[in-house]
Chains A and B, each alone.
Chain A
Amino acid sequence: EAGVTQSPTHLIKTRGQQATLRCSPISGHTSVYWYQQALGLGLQFLLWYDEGEERNRGNFPPRFSGRQFPNYSSELNVNALELEDSALYLCASTLKGGSNQPQHFGDGTRLSIL
């Protein structure tokens, strides 16, 4: 069974550009979570999507947004990129949202802002 897959593995952008990161959950999982792992800031919750809807949002500005598609895959979009957006972005999935199912993570997308 394939795990959570994320693409691309690495992404290099410049300040002010826009980035799109993609995540495919484990087959049968309907909830997708996004986390940011920035140097010195640790792992922080970004967004939670379940059944196509945004269910919860972390303490991040509106330029961080996303969506979940009918096949439960998800995109994270970051607009007007800033240097401090450089981080590893991790996606996780669970069987069913809001039920305290363990979250399974992908290998992440490393976003570098020049």
Chain B
Amino acid sequence: GEDVEQSLFLSVREGDSSVINCTYTDSSSTYLYWYKQEPGAGLQLLTYIFSNMDMKQDQRLTVLLNKKDKHLSLRIADTQTGDSAIYFCAESSTGGGNKLTFGTGTQLKVEL
């Protein structure tokens, strides 16, 4: 079955880069997503990558995908206090009826 894992916490200083990692098990994953959740809010779609790509850049965000190792990462350049939130990795597969399988979420804390 599908399984998605993330580390629980990450603490960085303002201005540094943050790298949030994710591993997944489903080799039939077609799309991989990163969502951001702020306290009391829903999920904000940050970016996503198709499984035949290995990198995608969108302003301060860079997604790297290593399909062989089933490893996905999200790099946030010049991290700001407003980036403090929980970040979820999610995957969807053609056999999953388009449902998303989420990781546990990584709580990012940005310190001054």
**CB-defined interface of A14-53 with B at 8 Å, one 1/0 digit per residue?**
0000000000000000010101000000111100100000
B35 touches A105 (CB 8 A): yes
Given contacts A48-B97, A56-B97, A97-B98, contact A102 B33 (CB under 8 A): yes
Closest to B44 in A: A105
B102 touches A108 (CB 8 A): no
**CB-defined interface of A36-78 with B at 8 Å, one 1/0 digit per residue?**
0000001111001000000110100000000000000000000
A82 contacts B by Cβ under 8 Å:
no
A58 touches B88 (CB 8 A): no
Q: How many residues of A contact B (CB 8 A)?
A: 28
B99 touches A43 (CB 8 A): no
**CB-defined interface of A93-112 with B at 8 Å, one 1/0 digit per residue?**
01001111111111110000
Q: Using Cβ atoms and an 8 Å threshold, which residues of chain B touch A56?
A: 96-99
Chain A residues within 8 Å of B, Cβ to Cβ: 4, 6, 31, 33, 35, 42-45, 48, 55-56, 58, 90, 92, 94, 97-108
Interface residues of B in 19-62 (CB under 8 A from A): 30-31, 33, 35, 40-45, 48
Can you pick out 20 interface pairs between chain A and chain B where the beta carbons lie within 8 Å of each other?
A: A33-B98, A35-B100, A43-B88, A43-B90, A43-B100, A43-B105, A45-B100, A48-B97, A48-B99, A55-B97, A56-B99, A97-B98, A100-B31, A100-B94, A102-B31, A102-B48, A103-B100, A105-B35, A105-B43, A105-B44
